[in-house]
């Protein structure tokens, strides 16, 4: 699927790391290194502006390697970029480790996933169909 993009970063466009990868690796476009202290969060610019087709969103997801090895993740994962947004794509990163983390320009910081979605047309009713689970909430299925 073709998605229009303006790249003002000087980095390569986001790309898939492997032939079957679902997410495109996106890179930081910060003019100076950003030091992210433990439990601190920051918005990292990417220099990308995208035009997402109607009926789709782009989800911003953490990179598993950064999360597992460095404790760096996307704070609002998955973040959603709506089809009508035309501003710069930024990534909210948080440092969940006990060490400072330096974000260098060009570093792969997150993944972008194009996802189709549906829109809801609400139907107000007085009763819902019963189900085996019923009103059982968190933990009610016995899974720990």
Domain map (residue ranges) of the chain: 4-116
In the structure, what pLDDT confidence band is assigned to residue 140 with cuts at 50, 70 and 90? Answer: low
Q: What is the DSSP string of the chain?
A: ---EEEE-SSSPPPEESSTT-SSEEEE---SS-EEE-TT-EEEEEEEEEEEPPTTEEEEEE--HHHHHHH-EEETTSSEEE-TT--SEEEEEEEE-SSS-EEE-TT-EEEEEEEEE---------S-----SSTT--TTTTS--
Stated pTM of the model: 0.88
Residue-wise pLDDT tens digits, 107-118: 999 999 999 999
Superfamily of domain 4-116: Deoxyuridine triphosphatase (dUTPase) (2.70.40.10)
Residue-wise pLDDT tens digits, 86-112: 999 999 999 999 999 999 999 999 999
Residue-wise pLDDT tens digits, 10-66: 999 999 999 999 999 999 999 999 999 999 999 999 999 999 999 999 999 999 999
User: Which pLDDT value is given to residue 142?
Assistant: 67
User: Which pLDDT value is given to residue 136?
Assistant: 77
């Amino acid at each position: 699927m073709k998605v229009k993009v303006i790249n003002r970063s000087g980095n390569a466009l986001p790309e898939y790391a492997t032939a079957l990868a679902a997410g495109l690796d996106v890179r930081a476009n910060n003019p100076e290194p950003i030091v992210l202290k433990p439990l601190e969060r920051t918005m990292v610019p990417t220099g990308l502006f995208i035009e997402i087709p109607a009926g789709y969103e782009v989800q911003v997801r953490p990179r598993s390697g950064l999360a597992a090895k460095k404790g760096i993740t996307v704070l609002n994962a998955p973040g959603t970029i709506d089809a009508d947004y035309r501003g710069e794509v930024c990534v909210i990163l948080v440092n969940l480790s006990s060490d400072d983390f330096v974000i260098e320009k060009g570093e792969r910081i997150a993944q972008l996933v194009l996802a189709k979605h549906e829109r809801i047309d609400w139907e107000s009713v007085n009763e819902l169909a019963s189900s085996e689970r019923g009103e059982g909430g968190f933990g009610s299925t016995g899974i720990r």
